[in-house]
C-alpha cells in the first residue's frame, strides 16, 4: 500500500511540476505575444497619426490656398469695379466737355487723321447738328494755312457713338471716336492693374 502511495505521490509531484513548467512557458509565451501585439498596435497608431497629420496639413494648405485665391478674386473684382467706375466718370467728363475744348480736341484729331483734305466726318446726330459745321470750318481753315486741300465735309448720315468722328473717304474709314479712345485706354489701364495685382 505504501508503495502505491509513493508512486501516486511521485506521479502527482511530476504532474504538478509539469503543470508548473507548462504554466510558466504559457505565461512567457503570452507575455511575448502581448509585447508583439503591443508593438504592432503602437506602430499602427504611429502610422495612423502620421497619415492623419499629413492629411490635416494638406487640408489646411488647401484651405489656405483657396482663401488666398478667393481674396485675389475679390481684389480683382474690386479693382475692375473701380476701373469701370473711373471710366464711367471719364466718359461723362468727355461727353460734357465745354464746347470750345471739345471743338479744339476734335480739330486736333481731324488734322492728325486727314490725308487728302477731301474726307468727310461721320458724327453722332447731336454733335453733327451742334458743332459739325464749326468743326469742318476749323479743320479746313487749318488745312488751308498749311497749303493743303481743304474740302473736308460733314457726312449727312450719322452713327451711334459717344462722340468724336469717323473720318471717311470712299471705302476707307479711320475711327477717331471717343468710344475707341476710351476702349484703348481702358485696355492699357486694365493691363497695368492686372500687372500690379498679380505681381508677387
Is the pLDDT at 188 greater than 80, yes or no? no
Residue 196 in domain: no
Contacts of 117 (CB under 8 A, 6+ apart): 140, 143, 148, 149, 150, 151, 152
**Domain total for the chain?**
2
Percent of the chain whose predicted confidence (pLDDT) is above 70 = 92
Please tell me the distance from the alpha carbon of residue 129 to that of residue 109, in angstroms, as a whole number: 19
List, in order, residues 6 or more apart from 14 with CB less than 8 Å away: none
Same domain, 124 and 184: yes
Is 122 inside a domain boundary? yes
Residue 199 located in a structural domain: no
Q: Are residues 92 and 109 in the same domain?
A: no
Average pLDDT over all residues of the chain: 84
The beta-carbon contacts of 66-75 under 8 Å, at least 24 apart in sequence, are 72/197, 72/198, 75/197
Domain presence at residue 197: no
Q: What average pLDDT does this structure show over 19-42?
A: 78
Instruction: State the residue range of the domain holding 130.
Output: 98-189
Kindly tell me if the per-residue pLDDT of 192 is higher than 90.
Answer: no
Name 166's bridge partners.
Answer: 122, 175
Check residue 145 and give its pLDDT. Answer: 93
**Do β-strands 153-154 and 120-122 pair in parallel, antiparallel, or remain unpaired?**
parallel
Q: What pTM did the predictor assign?
A: 0.58
- Nearest Cα to 139, choosing from 115, 179, 110? 110
* Confidence at residue 168, expressed as pLDDT on a 0 to 100 scale: 94
- Residue at which a domain ends, from 51, 67, 96: 96
Secondary structure class of 105 (helix, strand, coil): helix
- Residues 49 and 78 both lie in one domain: yes
Q: Are residues 114 and 183 in the same domain?
A: yes
Greatest mean pLDDT range, 40-44, 157-161, 186-190: 157-161
Could you tell me the pLDDT band of residue 27, with boundaries at 50, 70 and 90? confident
Strand order in the sheet with 164-169: 153-154, 120-122, 164-169, 172-177
pLDDT at 28: 80
Q: Does residue 194 lie within any of the structural domains? A: no
Residue 46 shares a structural domain with residue 124:
no
Q: What is the pLDDT of residues 100-145, one digit of tens each?
A: 999 999 999 999 999 999 999 999 999 999 999 999 999 999 999 9
3-state secondary structure of 161: coil
pLDDT tens digits for 162-173? 999 999 998 899
Cell 484651405 belongs to 63
Residue 102 placed within a domain: yes
Judged against a pLDDT cut of 80, whether residue 198 lies above it is answered with: no
Amino acid at each position: 500500500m505504501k508503495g502505491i502511495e509513493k508512486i501516486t505521490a511521485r506521479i502527482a509531484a511530476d504532474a504538478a511540476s509539469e503543470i508548473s513548467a507548462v504554466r510558466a512557458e504559457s505565461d512567457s509565451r503570452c507575455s511575448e505575444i502581448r509585447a508583439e501585439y503591443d508593438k504592432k498596435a503602437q506602430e499602427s497608431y504611429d502610422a495612423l497619426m502620421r497619415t492623419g497629420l499629413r492629411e490635416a496639413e494638406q487640408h489646411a494648405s488647401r484651405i489656405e490656398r483657396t482663401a488666398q485665391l478667393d481674396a485675389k478674386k475679390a481684389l480683382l473684382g474690386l479693382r475692375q469695379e473701380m476701373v469701370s467706375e473711373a471710366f464711367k466718370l471719364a466718359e461723362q467728363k468727355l461727353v460734357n466737355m465745354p464746347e470750345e475744348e471739345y471743338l479744339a480736341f476734335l480739330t486736333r484729331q481731324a488734322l492728325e487723321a486727314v490725308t487728302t483734305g477731301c474726307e468727310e466726318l461721320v458724327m453722332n446726330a447731336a454733335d453733327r447738328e451742334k458743332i459739325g459745321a464749326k468743326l469742318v470750318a476749323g479743320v479746313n481753315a487749318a488745312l488751308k494755312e498749311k497749303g493743303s486741300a481743304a474740302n473736308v465735309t460733314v457726312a449727312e448720315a450719322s452713327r451711334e457713338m459717344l462722340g468724336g468722328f469717323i473720318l471717311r473717304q470712299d471705302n476707307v474709314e479711320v475711327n477717331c471716336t471717343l468710344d475707341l479712345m476710351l476702349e484703348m485706354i481702358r485696355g492699357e489701364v486694365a493691363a497695368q492693374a492686372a500687372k500690379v495685382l498679380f505681381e508677387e
